[in-house]
């Protein structure tokens, strides 16, 4: 297919595809899917080999957010029966982080619900970063605390934060359809503040919220322009009790095409397989490793993920290797070009995010997709790890 040859050549040169080419990737047929994966896989291997970076989430403060993001189980008015707790103590967060590091995670992502941190919150997180780095030599720490105000990014960087995450989520044109308490520009500004402070910027998207192909291309092109080091691709989990609970728009094939398009547009950036991979890719997750070079290990913010040991087995079985702490994630030209750190982290929430570890047998509906009843059964609220007395799943 001439389109794929062109995209591979552009990806190897770090050249931006046209919008028409990106849209064409999303429009390819299921018959061409393996060709699409193979083509994007060439670009992935050029810049990242067969390495997979592991990241681990610690939810520092869960629920009770005043923002109204429609996809999120922690949103204002959410009826999702998630864990709700206030700030973890630094020592408790450090213990949770250590479990992820012991499981192979190179980066710990510290996330807190809310519009943005107060100055006291920044102090809390700074203390937590110190505790984690003191106990886990060489670990990278990324913060995800919402919208930043003047000076906060610099304080987090001084405290040892290597990266900051704030996703764009969807296109600017449709952002108002999923959130009214802040806008697309607010998110862009926070990412720029993180970059200006010397942190590695991480910003991605959520697919499956009813957006068009044009919306997906728009947000990925906006990310390319913003130039974060890491682009997490989340797939919406329609969490019961949220406004998007009935939005089941994705198939494994469409999810793979979205990942491939993202890789072609962002060839030398850490593309992370984030929220919703277990629910929407299911048994096709190993194919996604040919497109992404990063994923989250174990559980997520408010939902359970695939067991950490199963993640490691999947990576090994697919012929990939876990990236070590002595390896720089990003290609040398990005690091040498003044990019700080080597990749960020996604919020991996996407409206609740992830399945339980065991994926039940799929019951097919008339169009070959799992029935809504079966798909809802794939979403499991997190009841272990941070904020509980039970050990985490890492």
Does the annotation place 272 within a ligand binding site? yes
**Highest-confidence range of 60-64, 199-203, 365-369, by mean pLDDT?**
199-203
Residue 353, annotated ligand binder?
no
230-261 pLDDT, tens digit each: 999 999 988 888 888 889 999 999 999 999 99
The arithmetic mean of pLDDT across residues 113-139, rounded, is 95
Q: Which residue has the tokens 């390896």?
A: 327
How would residue 371 be classed by pLDDT, with cut points 50, 70 and 90? low
pLDDT interval class at 380 (50, 70, 90): low
Q: Decide: 55 and 297 in contact? Cβ < 8 Å.
A: yes
266 is in an annotated binding site: no
* pLDDT at position 363 over 80: no
Kindly list the structural domains of the chain, giving each domain's residue range(s) and its CATH number in brackets, ordered by start. 2-376 (3.20.20.70)
pLDDT at 301 over 70: yes
Q: What is the pLDDT of residue 241?
A: 85
Helix axis angle for 19-26 and 213-226, nearest 10°, is: 130
Is 72 assigned to a binding site?
Answer: yes
Contact predicate 343/270, CB 8 Å: yes
Tens digits of residue pLDDT in 146-158: 999 999 999 999 9
CA-to-CA separations, 155 to 12, 132, 137, 150, 160, in angstroms, rounded: 37, 17, 21, 10, 9
Within 10 angstroms of residue 184's Cβ, the number of other Cβ atoms is 19
By C-alpha distance, which of 204, 231, 260, 268 is closest to 48?
268
Q: What is the pLDDT of residues 168-197, one digit of tens each?
A: 999 999 999 999 999 999 999 999 999 999
Under 8 Å between Cβ of 221 and 86: no
Amino acid 362: pLDDT: 35
pLDDT of residue 7: 98
**Alpha carbon distance 334, 337 (integer Å):** 5
The pLDDT-based confidence of 331 (bands split at 50, 70, 90) is: very high
**In the predicted structure, residue 348 carries a pLDDT above the cut 60:** no
Can you give the pLDDT at residue 62?
Answer: 85
pTM for this entry: 0.87
Query: How large a percentage of the chain has pLDDT more than 70?
Result: 87
Tokens of 56: 């681990």
DSSP code at position 88: P
C-alpha to C-alpha distance for 156 and 340, rounded to whole angstroms: 14
**Whether residue 23 has pLDDT greater than 60:** yes
Say if residue 3's pLDDT is above 90: yes
Q: What 3-state DSSP class applies to 32?
A: helix
């Amino acid at each position: 297919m001439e389109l794929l040859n062109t995209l591979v050549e552009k990806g190897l040169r770090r050249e931006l595809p046209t919008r028409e080419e990106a849209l064409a990737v999303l429009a390819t047929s299921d018959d061409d899917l393996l060709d699409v994966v193979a083509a994007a896989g060439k670009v992935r291997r050029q810049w990242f080999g067969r390495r997979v970076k592991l990241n681990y989430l610690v939810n520092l403060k869960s629920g009770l957010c005043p923002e109204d993001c429609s996809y999120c189980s922690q949103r204002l008015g959410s009826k999702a029966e998630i864990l709700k707790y206030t700030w973890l103590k630094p020592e408790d967060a450090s213990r949770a982080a250590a479990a992820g590091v012991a499981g192979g995670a190179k980066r710990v992502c510290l996330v807190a619900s809310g519009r943005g941190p107060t100055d006291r919150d920044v102090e809390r997180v700074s203390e937590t970063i110190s505790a984690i780095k003191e106990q886990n030599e060489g670990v990278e720490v990324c913060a995800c605390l919402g919208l930043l105000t003047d000076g906060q990014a610099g304080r987090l960087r001084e405290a040892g934060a290597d990266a900051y995450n704030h996703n764009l989520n969807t296109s600017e044109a449709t952002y108002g359809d999923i959130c009214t308490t802040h806008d697309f520009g607010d998110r862009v500004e926070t990412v720029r503040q993180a970059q200006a402070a010397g942190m590695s910027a991480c910003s991605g998207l959520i697919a499956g919220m009813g957006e068009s192909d044009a919306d997906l291309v728009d947000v990925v092109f906006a990310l390319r322009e913003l130039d974060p080091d890491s682009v997490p691709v989340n797939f919406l989990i329609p969490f019961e009790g949220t406004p998007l609970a009935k939005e089941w728009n994705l198939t494994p094939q469409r999810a793979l095409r979205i990942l491939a398009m993202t890789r072609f547009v962002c060839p030398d950036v850490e593309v992370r397989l984030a929220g919703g991979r277990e629910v929407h890719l299911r048994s096709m997750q190993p194919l996604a490793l040919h497109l992404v070079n990063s994923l989250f290990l174990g559980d997520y913010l408010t939902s359970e993920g695939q067991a950490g040991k199963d993640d490691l087995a999947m990576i090994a079985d697919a012929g990939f290797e876990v990236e070590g702490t002595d390896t720089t994630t990003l290609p040398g030209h990005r690091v040498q070009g003044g990019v700080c750190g080597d990749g960020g982290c996604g919020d991996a929430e996407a409206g609740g995010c992830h399945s339980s570890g065991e994926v039940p047998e799929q019951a097919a509906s008339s169009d070959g997709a799992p029935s809504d009843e079966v798909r809802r059964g794939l979403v499991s609220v997190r009841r272990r790890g941070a904020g509980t007395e039970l050990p985490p799943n890492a």
